[in-house]
Amino acid sequence: MQQKLKIAIQKSGRLYEDSVKLLKDCGIDVKNGINKLKTEAENFPLEIYFLRDDDIPQYVEDAVADIGIVGENVLYEKKKAVTVVEELGFGKCRLSIAVKRNEDYPGVEFLQGKRIATTYPVLVERFLQEKGIRSDIHEISGSVEIAPGIGLADAIVDLVSSGSTLFMNGLKEVETVLKSQAVLIRNNQLNDEQLKLLDRLIFRIRAVKKAKN
């Protein structure tokens, strides 16, 4: 039986459409798979798994999927042993620190001893450590942007693209922790045949990226 490459992409959300479009632009026919766990490409030896983005690094590390598309923000927060093979140029955003708009913000020293709410404790901790700042990091699972308004935190760290969510919640962006985009990752122990299939896919992805520039 011919070997197939298994790719994990986001099931629904901000990366879903661009991930499917990338495969289609690569000439790969993806049968409509939303609300399904997996589907197959018709004209390329590829199986597509639809997963929550947070789970993709783990699945690729464990070789449940051979490759995956995920935001750098999620990848570096999860600290999994996988290899980045290509930057994909979509899903661009930044992980930023924000404080109340009326707050005087002299610099990172403002954050010393303050309460920071985030869904990215690992990246925040690393950023603050590099700056020699110690804060009280509270990991919360969602709606981070409301935390300062309800007195839960003095600052937040969250993903930003236009900044409108921050604005609507009376916040201002003061530091960038990470600039992020979607990347293609792979399992660290692919066999020769899998690596060859991956090379064919990367070749097409680069052609698509080139055509766009």
Question: Does position 72 bind Zn ion by CB under 5 A?
Answer: no
Q: How many residues form the binding site for Zn ion (CB under 5 A)? A: 2
Residues 25, 40, 47, 54: which binds Zn ion (CB under 5 A)? 54
- The residue (of 74 and 171) whose beta carbon lies closer to ligand ATP is 74
Pairing mode, strands 171-180 and 115-118: unpaired
Question: Does position 158 bind Zn ion by CB under 5 A?
Answer: no
Question: Does position 118 bind ligand ATP by CB under 6 A?
Answer: no
Question: Does position 18 bind ligand ATP by CB under 6 A?
Answer: no
Query: Which residues have C-beta within 8 Å of that of residue 57, sequence separation ≥ 6?
Result: 68, 70, 74, 75, 78, 80, 82, 185
100-104 contacts, C-beta under 8 A, 24 or more apart = 100/148, 100/170, 100/171, 100/172, 101/170, 101/171, 101/172, 102/170, 103/172
Of 8-16, 20-28, 41-49, 127-135: span binding ligand ATP (CB under 6 A): 8-16
Minimum distance from residue 140 beta carbon to Zn ion (Å): 14
CB atoms within 10 A of CB 135: 21
Residues 111, 128, 156, 159: which binds ligand ATP (CB under 6 A)? 159
Question: Does position 52 bind ligand ATP by CB under 6 A?
Answer: yes
Of 60-68, 70-78, 196-204, 205-213: span binding ligand ATP (CB under 6 A): 70-78
Burial profile 159-171: b = 16 or more Cβ within 10 angstroms, e = fewer: bbeeeeebeebeb
What six digits make up the tokens of 210? 């080139």
- The residue (of 144 and 153) whose beta carbon lies closer to ligand ATP is 144
- The residue (of 53 and 175) whose beta carbon lies closer to Zn ion is 53
Residue type, 98: A
Question: Does position 24 bind ligand ATP by CB under 6 A?
Answer: no
DSSP string, 99-160: EETTS---SGGGGTT-EEEES-HHHHHHHHHHTT---EEEE-SS-GGGTTTTTS-SEEEEEE
Question: Does position 135 bind ligand ATP by CB under 6 A?
Answer: no
Question: Does position 19 bind ligand ATP by CB under 6 A?
Answer: no
Binding site for ligand ATP (CB under 6 A): 10, 13-15, 52-54, 71, 73-74, 91, 93, 159, 161, 180
